[in-house]
Amino acid sequence: MTAPHIPVLLDEVIAALSPEPGAVIVDATFGAGGYARRLLDAGATVHAFDRDPDAITAGRGWSEAAESPPRLVLHPRRFSEMVAALAEAGLASVDGVVMDIGVSSMQLDQAQRGFAFSMDGPLDMRMAQEGESAAEFLNTAAESTIADVLFQYGEERQSRRLARAIVAARPLETTGQLAHVVRKALGYRPGAPKDPATRSFQAIRIHVNAELDELNAGLAAAEQLLRPGGKLAVVSFHSLEDRIVKQFLRDASGAVANVSRHLPQTAPAAAPTFDHVAKALRPSEAELARNPRARSATLRVAVRTAAPVRTRRAA
């Protein structure tokens, strides 16, 4: 089977994880299996997670011919559930975790999934194909709630104006209808450098799938699962995701410190759970030429220490 998309920063991710024969690695965002294939080729056992049933079905199709016992183990679950899922499989620790955050190429390229405004389709956007759809959210939520989602997750400065326009246009049923409302409300002209619908579709998708909550939970799960010396590699695609990953690694590595002698002393911080936090990597010009969708990708890598998992305060 040929993967229907090009994995982003593939060589850099594999180099960061440095898989060896017998290693156990979590591919937290399986998709079309681009990372998993290379990890399997290196001799690793891969536990792959995806909440999209289409991705799991496709993965089963090309994994059934693998050796027995299989080195590719598919989990049709959210990656925030990886600790529980691996415990059920008899694993308490792993050698690596890779996460490729956000929507996949396969989801974007299928009009019926409703993720993209480049093709008209039902206004869906659900990665797991269950729960509240984008149409149901936009057609029932309060105007203020829609405005908050557009502002927080799309960084849309005219979120209130746009939310008013969305409510006035109800009911919305297709991606084309939503894109039209956004463009009209924000004064978009064809040929402008960036379509304002991009921000709105991102915001609604993130809300419908609770993506940032999932990312926070997934990072915490990776901290719990990785053995000392285990590698974490996270590829993000926009500033909100990357900010979360960057802050997580900053906190986990002890990089945040009270450096002023004029401030009150605080209790000693917990021992760092990650070190060797690498400088952020971005795609090369050669990769961008091959795969324009990689243009906003950022890879962050760190190594797990032997320190116990940090205690987190309840939200």
Q: Which amino acid is at 153?
A: Y
φ and ψ at 135, to 5 degrees?
-60, -45
Q: Which of these ranges, 76-90, 121-135, 240-254, 256-270, has the smallest mean pLDDT?
A: 256-270
pLDDT tens across 19-31, in order? Answer: 999 999 999 999 8
Are residues 141 and 24 part of one domain? no
Are residues 215 and 75 part of one domain? yes
**Residue in 128, 129, 125 with CA at minimum distance from that of residue 138:** 125
Q: Does 185 have pLDDT greater than 80?
A: yes
For residues 218-241, give the mean pLDDT. 97
Q: Does 158 have pLDDT greater than 70?
A: yes
For residues 274-294, give the mean pLDDT. 93
- How confident is the model at residue 269, as a pLDDT? 66
Which has more pLDDT, 76 or 105?
Answer: 76
- How confident is the model at residue 292, as a pLDDT? 86
Q: What is the side-by-side order of every strand in the sheet holding 72-75?
A: 72-75, 45-49, 24-27, 94-100, 226-236, 298-304, 274-275
- Where a domain ends, among 181, 208, 235? 208
Q: What is the CATH number of the domain that holds 90?
A: 3.40.50.150
- How confident is the model at residue 3, as a pLDDT? 42
For residues 233-256, give the mean pLDDT. 93
Is 285 contained in some domain? yes
φ and ψ at 101, to 5 degrees?
-80, 150
Is 5 contained in some domain? no
Instruction: Determine the structural domain holding residue 36 and report its residue range.
Output: 10-106+211-304
- How confident is the model at residue 167, as a pLDDT? 98
pLDDT range class, residue 40, cuts 50, 70, 90: very high
Are residues 260 and 132 part of one domain? no
For residues 197-218, give the mean pLDDT. 95
Are residues 147 and 17 part of one domain? no
For residues 283-291, give the mean pLDDT. 92
Are residues 274 and 151 part of one domain? no
Are residues 138 and 75 part of one domain? no
Are residues 79 and 134 part of one domain? no
User: Residue 174 carries which DSSP code?
Assistant: B
Are residues 127 and 263 part of one domain? no
- How confident is the model at residue 315, as a pLDDT? 46
Q: Which of these ranges, 132-146, 205-219, 280-294, has the smallest mean pLDDT?
A: 280-294
Number of independent structural domains in the chain:
2
Q: Which of these ranges, 81-95, 185-199, 271-285, has the smallest mean pLDDT?
A: 185-199
Are residues 166 and 283 part of one domain? no
pLDDT range class, residue 64, cuts 50, 70, 90: low
pLDDT range class, residue 191, cuts 50, 70, 90: confident
φ and ψ at 267, to 5 degrees?
-60, 145
Is 310 contained in some domain? no
- How confident is the model at residue 201, as a pLDDT? 94
pLDDT tens across 79-130, in order? Answer: 999 999 999 999 999 999 999 997 766 667 677 787 888 889 999 999 989 9
User: Residue 311 carries which DSSP code?
Assistant: P
- How confident is the model at residue 214, as a pLDDT? 96
Are residues 278 and 130 part of one domain? no
- How confident is the model at residue 106, as a pLDDT? 67
The span from the CA of 162 to the CA of 202, in Å, is: 14
**Radius of gyration of the chain from Cα atoms?**
21
The span from the CA of 106 to the CA of 61, in Å, is: 16
Are residues 196 and 227 part of one domain? no
For residues 256-267, give the mean pLDDT. 53
Are residues 225 and 94 part of one domain? yes
pLDDT mean across residues, the chain? 89
Q: Does 153 have pLDDT greater than 60?
A: yes
- Where a domain ends, among 144, 175, 208? 208
Structure-token match 């956007």, residue found: 125
